[in-house]
Chain A
Amino acid sequence: MRITITGLLLLSVTPFLLGCGNYTRNGSESRKSTVTIAGSTSVMPFSEKLAEHFKIEDPGITVDVQGGGSSAGIQACLNRTVDIGMSSRELKGDEKRLDELIICHDGIAIVVHPQNPIKDITLEQIRAIYGGRLRNWKQLGWIDRNIDAVTREEGSGTRGAFEELVMAGTDIHDSTMVQDSNGSVKEVVATDPYAIGFISLGVVDAKVKALQVEGVAPNVENIKTQRYRMVRPFLYLTMGEPEGAARLFITYVLSKDGQMILKKEGLVPINE
């Protein structure tokens, strides 16, 4: 019985060990035809979209997109465990060893539930809400209910950008709820009428309502004309010049087609 078990074990593992060379889905040759990208969960869905389209362009190359967060992606890139790292925040200190490439810009949108009648908010009010001083919607002209503020977790690139661009030194209060991705923040705001959150502009859809900040609507136009200031770059990072399949993918991302895809998703392309 033990022999059968060992036999089954070997049998089941063998096909996998044979595949250790990172075959593509078609079962063809070398690892050069896979590009691994990992990092910011904000950038990830857009990289995934680009990867899907790129597959149509160049079926021989598979782009494998992972999350993990901006910091993890930067680390992975420094360790050379991935070809390209994704970051939604600026590089700091030692990280600047990497080659960084801005693939687009992304706005940070302040979102509330669609039923929320408020349309505009000032930076001071956002700071007060997240700083824990402004706690009730009636202080903003709505009903008498507590504001359910939602933030991202510590270490998130989006949160880092939000803290830098909006909070300006004030700490986010510890009674704010925390979710660990744009999607889950959006989901909370979409289901809780009394919630408010900040998410990547590219993720905003009909489920939530994006507020005007100081009278400026968060859209691509206003970002390009710099009227909307809550903006951060999406970065692709490589250790040295990108080569081979990675270079082909990056070229695609920077091309008109790639940028068009990003634009359609609500991001701000770089070349226009």
Chain B
Amino acid sequence: MNRRLANKENAIRLVLLLFALSSLLFLFIIFIFILSEGVPLFAKVGVKNITMGTRWAPTKGFFGIFPMIVSSFMVTLGALVLGAPLALGCSTYLSEYAGKKTKMVLKPSLELLAGIPSVVYGFLGVVYIVPLIREYLGGSGFSILATSLVLGIMILPTITSISFDALMSVPAAFREGSLAMGATKWQTVYKVVLPAARSGILASFILGMGRAIGETMAVIMVAGNALKIPTSLLDPLRTLTSNIALELAYATGDHRRALFSTGVVLLVIIMSLNLVANFWVKRRVDK
């Protein structure tokens, strides 16, 4: 009887192990397929020609995605510059100043609002932000500025949420000690709590960056999708993600493979960002 029970337990354990390995399996399949479609072109045309090439004309044999790499980074940085300070201020308020009741109302609200689909952000960007930029600042409105604004708003919930967790995990003793020595609340926050939560906050920025650089639909709607490297905040641009989404439906042969190559580059960038973020988060825990 005991052996049967043990066998049943072992069988269950095996099944669950297989379930758990499925994640690795999916990751593996995804990587295999993206790489198998994207890497051959690197071999055929040359990694430098693709990643450093400045001309994208895939039907004519030009697969340079350098402008898009630059553009992706530019709007992501822009999104951080616009969104991170605001999000950090918000999370600092929530963690250090807000009462329990406020916390209970605001935090779930923020999470609810994080559920707004990205296409809605893009749409409102087109309807409200793009015309404003065109009216008052010039250009067509479809620009780095518009894209950074939209992305900045989109990553607010992400950064707020994660930096909030980081701030909340700073031990109360830190704050109490500081206050006991006569510091004001702000001095405590500024000189004790924020530095203590530094790794987690930085991790939230990186994860926000990851979300921004991976965003597709909203960007297509407000970026203008021009191929040139933008030279001003008001210039239109195309990101790595938009490139894939704009042309995937129509592409065949080498053109399609080039889009997968774009995907490979994107994956490399985002995986690196995630690794850095995880490393920073782990440092926080070890500290």
Contacts and interface: CB of A to CB of B under 8 A. Distances in A.
> Touching in the complex, A and B, CB below 8 A?
yes
Interface of A: 67-72, 75, 146, 148, 153-156, 171, 173-180, 188, 191-192, 194-195
Max chain A Cβ within 10 angstroms of own Cβ: one of B56, B59, B249: B249
Given A68-B249, A155-B251, A175-B226, 8 more contacts: A75-B252, A154-B59, A155-B59, A175-B227, A178-B246, A188-B142, A191-B131, A195-B140
B59 A177 contact: no
Interface string B36-60: 0000000000000000000111110
Contact of B252 (A72, A171, A177): A72
Contacts of B126: 191
Contacts of A69: 249-250
Contact-size category for B: 20 to 34
A146 B139 contact: yes
A129 B225 CA distance: 17
**Which of A68, A155, A179 lies at the interface centre, i.e. has the most chain B CB atoms within 10 A of its CB?**
A155
B250 A71 contact: yes
A68 B56 CA distance: 21
B57 A171 contact: yes
Contacts of A72: 249-250, 252
B224 interface: yes
30 contacts: A68-B250, A69-B250, A71-B252, A72-B252, A75-B252, A148-B139, A148-B140, A148-B142, A154-B56, A154-B247, A154-B255, A155-B58, A155-B247, A173-B228, A174-B55, A174-B226, A175-B226, A175-B227, A175-B228, A177-B224, A178-B224, A178-B227, A178-B246, A180-B246, A188-B142, A191-B126, A191-B130, A191-B131, A194-B134, A195-B140
Contacts of B138: 146
A44 to B, nearest CB: 11
Given A176-B226, A177-B226, A155 B141 contact: no
B246 A153 contact: yes
Contact of A177 (B131, B140, B250): B140
Contacts of B257: none
